[in-house]
Structures are given as structure tokens and as C-alpha cells.
């Protein structure tokens, strides 16, 4: 079996671990494995390079992706998808494995309309927003990166008895904000899955200060309905009569060496993607649910909303006391 592998969309820690597992397990099981450089656009540009065991040496611990990544406007069109299908067929590929987020899964579903080859997706995104896996590759590392930063910010917040709003990534899903908020003891967590008015937020902050808290942390997902942290911070400052400080963590969340959890998850999913193909299973995203490896149809990964733990949300006010 001749397999192409690529990474698409935003990078996430441990993508390299997945590439390593796909390559080495694939070769061990008598497959040819080719890396596609530059994401989906790399197919259209013909950027295929055969991989061997040495190609993926010493990458397990590295963040980013050795295959590089990107977004392709050309691939969004039907003409681009047909072109990609022809290139893959002409090159003799039997299967394509793509590591990325919901945009990547949508792209694979679209490609399936024009190519008879087998398609498998791996959930590589720090947002953890794909249905069909408990955790996505890179999420744990991103949370730990954000957690480390927030712990340092709290030191300054406590030294000056200040209110800090810290913005984390999460345009459409608040999993990073949710996990980081609980792990740092935030007084409030703002994210797309919940609705909080400015008055409610102000009351929470005032109540926290009245409890003689030495500092108040508010974690904000970038996609919250009230706006970004800067917009919310200005409005909150007017409400409480005190200047609120704002820190935007940005791309620092994506970088760095992947955690143990992400390396193991990426390795399991990479190896399982090869097993699926060799057993005739394809047309979906591999994931891990309740400790079991599963294959979920592409469309389900973005049409079914992955839920936030409502029981934990209910504890937030009690825990922030």
C-alpha cells in the first residue's frame, strides 16, 4: 500500500509523534510512506517525498511539524479537489492520512467525492473541539503551556492585588479556557459554550474581591460572546471602578515540546490509522474514546458538538470562593 501523510491547518504539539508512528509502523508492515510538505496545498504543488525510518528520527520530542503546514484556498474549490484527486491517482497512492482540525476533516470529506483512494484523519488541534475523541493531539500540551503562564501571572496579580483577564485560544470551543480556568482557580471562565453578561461578570469579580482575595483571575476564550479579553477588560474596568490588566497568551500555547500524554496519544492514533487501512477501514477520523481506539465518520467530527463537563461547570462558583 502506498500512503501519503500530511499535516494541515494550525500546527499542534505532537504532530511529529504521529508522523513518526505512521511512518515506522507503515514501513514495518510493508507500506510505502510519503510525506506531503505544505499541507493540502502540497498535494496540488506535487511536494511528495518518500519517508523512511531515519526521516523521522529524533522528532518525537519536537513541537510543530517536520512536514510543515498551511491552508489552501485552491483546495477549498471543487476544481482544486478534483486536481488533488488526479495528482494522487497519477502518483499511484492508495491512501491519504491527514493530521489536523475540523477544516482538515471537512477537506477529507470533500476529497472523498472525487477520489477513490482511502482517507483517514487524525485529530491534530489544540482546541480539542472534534467529536470522536476524548482528547485531540496537542491539547494537553497547550493547556500545560497556558497553565505555566497563568501561574506566573498570578504571582504578579497577588503582589499588586490586581484583577487580570487572561485570553487563551478557542475561537469556537472553550476547552482550553475550561481546563486552565479550573487548574488555576480562576474566579470566572468565559467561553463560547456558556453565556455570561457583563453585569454577571462584574458581580463575580466584586464578590471575589469582597472575600479579601489577594488577586482575581478571569480566563477568557478568544471566541467568547462578550468579545476578546481587551474589549471585556475595558468594559469590566468601568463596571468595577478599577483598571483590569489584560494578558493575551497567543501562539505560545502551540509551541514547545509535547507532553508525555500527547506523545503517547499521537503515537497510538498514528499506529491505529495504519491498522485501519490495512484492515480495510477508512472514511473517518481515528480517535480515543474511554480508552478505546475508534473510527468516526468525517462529518460527525464537526456536526456533533463535543460537550463541556456540566457538572464541573456547576462547581465553579463553589471552588472560586
Active site (catalytic) residues: 127
**Nearest Cα to Cα of residue 274 among 59, 42, 81, 51:** 51
Cell of 226: 462578550
Strands 2-7 vs 95-100: parallel, antiparallel or unpaired: parallel
Sign of the alpha-carbon dihedral angle for 31, 33, 45, 69:
positive
Dihedral sign (CA 106, 138, 189, 249): negative
Q: Residues 238, 199: contact at Cβ < 8 Å?
A: no
Q: Give CA–CA dist 321/313, Å, rounded.
A: 14
Q: CA-CA distances (angstroms) from residue 144 to 141, 170, 175, 182?
A: 5, 15, 13, 12
Q: Are 121 and 104 in contact (CB under 8 A)?
A: yes
What the block records as the C-alpha cell of 282 is: 477508512
DSSP, collapsed to helix, strand or coil, labels residue 28 as helix
> Which pairing describes strands 188-190 and 95-100: parallel, antiparallel, or unpaired?
unpaired
The three cell numbers locating residue 105: 476533516
Residue 37 backbone dihedrals phi, psi, to 5 degrees: -90, 135
Contact 253, 168 (CB under 8 A): yes
Amino acid at each position: 500500500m502506498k500512503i501519503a501523510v500530511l499535516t494541515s491547518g494550525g500546527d499542534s504539539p505532537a504532530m511529529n509523534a504521529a508522523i513518526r508512528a505512521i511512518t515506522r509502523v507503515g514501513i514495518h508492515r510493508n507500506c510505502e510512506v510519503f510525506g506531503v510538505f505544505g499541507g493540502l496545498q502540497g498535494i496540488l504543488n506535487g511536494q511528495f517525498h518518500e519517508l523512511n525510518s531515519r526521516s523521522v528520527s529524533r522528532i518525537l520530542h519536537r513541537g510543530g511539524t517536520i512536514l510543515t503546514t498551511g491552508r489552501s484556498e485552491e483546495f477549498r474549490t471543487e476544481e482544486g479537489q478534483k486536481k488533488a484527486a488526479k495528482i494522487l491517482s497519477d502518483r499511484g497512492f492508495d491512501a491519504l492520512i491527514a493530521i489536523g482540525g475540523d477544516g482538515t476533516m471537512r477537506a477529507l470529506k470533500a476529497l472523498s467525492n472525487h477520489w477513490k483512494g482511502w482517507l483517514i484523519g487524525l485529530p491534530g488541534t489544540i482546541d480539542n473541539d472534534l467529536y470522536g475523541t476524548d482528547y485531540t493531539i496537542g491539547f494537553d500540551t497547550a493547556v500545560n503551556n497556558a497553565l505555566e503562564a497563568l501561574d506566573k501571572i498570578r504571582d504578579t496579580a497577588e503582589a499588586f492585588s490586581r484583577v487580570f483577564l487572561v485570553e487563551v485560544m478557542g475561537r469556537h470551543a472553550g476547552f482550553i479556557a475550561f481546563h486552565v480556568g479550573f487548574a488555576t482557580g480562576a474566579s470566572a471562565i468565559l467561553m463560547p459554550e456558556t453565556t455570561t453578561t457583563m453585569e454577571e461578570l462584574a458581580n463575580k469579580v466584586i464578590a471575589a474581591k469582597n472575600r479579601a482575595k489577594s488577586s482575581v483571575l478571569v480566563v477568557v476564550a478568544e471566541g467568547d460572546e462578550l468579545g476578546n479579553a481587551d474589549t471585556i477588560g475595558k468594559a469590566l474596568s468601568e463596571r468595577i471602578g478599577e483598571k483590569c490588566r489584560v494578558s493575551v497568551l497567543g501562539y505560545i500555547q502551540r509551541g514547545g515540546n509535547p507532553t508525555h500524554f500527547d506523545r503517547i496519544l499521537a503515537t497510538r492514533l498514528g499506529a491505529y490509522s495504519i491498522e485501519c487501512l490495512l484492515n480495510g477501514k477508512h472514511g473517518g477520523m481515528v480517535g480515543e474514546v474511554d480508552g478505546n481506539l475508534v473510527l468516526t465518520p468525517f462529518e460527525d467530527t464537526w456536526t456533533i458538538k463535543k460537550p463541556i463537563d456540566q457538572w464541573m461547570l456547576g462547581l465553579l462558583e463553589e471552588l472560586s470562593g
